[in-house]
A and B are shown apart, each in its own frame.
Chain A
């Protein structure tokens, strides 16, 4: 079974530029998450989708971050404009369950460096 796919693996940009990350979850997984993991910290939830609807985006900095999951399958996370503090690994995870109680399957992450 294919795992969660993410791209790009690495991205270096200058502050105020924009960047987009893509995630393809495991086939059939209804729930998709984007997490931000800053060096030395645990992953922090940015947004949770169930199918193509947003379940929780309370911690998404909506002035610069946006995410969509148009057809209920793959998803993109965009940052525009980027700030230095956005340097982090952006992890996508999926789950076959609709709640958050249960194992999440993570992708390998997209490492963003903002200069």
Chain B
């Protein structure tokens, strides 16, 4: 059965820290991996990764995919309190998009 596992489940850091969130997966016929940020509202799209080793970057956030080892990481540098949210990883394989349980990040002032 397809699986998407995120770690850690929760994380508390202070402003300015750098964090790394992990997403590992087992899916049939991998097509893409997506990261979303979920605050108290709708999940919002961050990145879509399809190729190994190519970093996607947006401001302080970056993500990379390793298709050989079946995982992705999401890095956030110089964290701010506004980064506090649940970060969801979703993997598409065989036309099925499966979400992980998410990592709850709390950034303290």
Residues of A within 8 A of B (CB): 3-4, 40-45, 56, 91, 99-109
Contact = CB atoms under 8 A, between A and B. Distances in A.
Contacts of A108: 41-42
Contact of B88 (A42, A45, A102, A103): A42
Interface string B75-109: 00000000000001010100111111110000000
B67 interface: no
B48 A103 contact: yes
Of B42, B45, B101, most buried by chain A (CB within 10 Å of CB) is: B42
Nearest to A38: B101
A106 B44 contact: yes
Given A4-B42, A91-B42, A102 B48 contact: yes
Contacts of A101: 31-32, 92, 95, 97
A100 B42 contact: no
A42 B100 contact: yes
Given A101-B92, A108-B41, A42 B99 contact: yes
Contacts, number: 52
Interface residues of B, number: 23
Contact of A106 (B42, B48, B95): B42
Contacts of A43: 43, 88, 99
Contacts of B96: 45, 56, 100
B73 interface: no
Contacts of A3: 42
Interface in B10-42: 31-32, 34, 36, 41-42
B61 interface: no
Contact of A100 (B4, B92, B100): B92
Nearest to B44: A106
Given A41-B101, A42-B101, A100 B43 contact: no
Given A3-B42, A108-B41, A103 B34 contact: yes
Contact of A107 (B42, B45, B90): B42
A5 B5 CA distance: 30
